[in-house]
A and B are shown apart, each in its own frame.
Chain A
């Protein structure tokens, strides 16, 4: 069974440029999460989806970050414009339902110059 798929794996951009990350969750998983992980720290939740509905986006910096999960399957996370402090690993995870075991993708390492 395929795991959570993310692309790209690495992205280097200059500040003020836009960037987008894509995630394909495990088939049948209704809950999808986007996390940000800074160096030496644990992941922090940015947004959680139940099917296509964003049910927890309290930690998402909405002035520059946006996300969508059309049709309740794939999801994209966008940053526009990117700032130096956005450099981090962006992780996508999915679970069958809320508060169940989460499975993570390999992440996208973003470097903003």
Chain B
């Protein structure tokens, strides 16, 4: 069974800092990886999708990478802003399964 761990569980940084969120998984048979953000009381917003043949994806200030051999994915946020404050979740498709297995998330707070 795929297990997905996100570290740290919570993170507070001052505005302007670059930061990295980590996601590790136990099953290397990863198909696709998706990063989401979730604001309090809201649904999930898709940030980036890395397909199985890719190693990274970039969108604006966000960069996500996938290393299947080490069982890790990272989400890099450049020049953080207070509006980036949210919970960030990683999720994986494994093998031929079409369901996402989610991590428990990292709660990020960017302070002024």
On chain A, the number of residues with a Cβ less than 8 Å from chain B's Cβ atoms is 26
**Is there a chain B Cβ closer than 8 Å to A99's Cβ?**
yes
The answer on a CB contact under 8 Å between A31 and B98 is yes
Instruction: Say whether chain B's binding surface is mostly helix, strand, loop, or mixed.
Output: strand
**Is there a chain B Cβ closer than 8 Å to A104's Cβ?**
yes
Q: List A residues at the B interface (Cβ < 8 Å).
A: 4, 6, 31, 33, 40-45, 48, 55-56, 91, 93, 98-107, 109
Q: Told that A48-B99, A107-B43 touch, could you supply 8 new A-B pairs with CB distance under 8 A?
A: A41-B104, A43-B44, A43-B100, A48-B98, A55-B98, A99-B98, A100-B32, A101-B34
**Can you list 9 pairs linking A and B with CB atoms under 8 Å apart?**
A31-B98, A42-B104, A55-B98, A56-B98, A99-B96, A99-B98, A101-B34, A102-B100, A104-B46
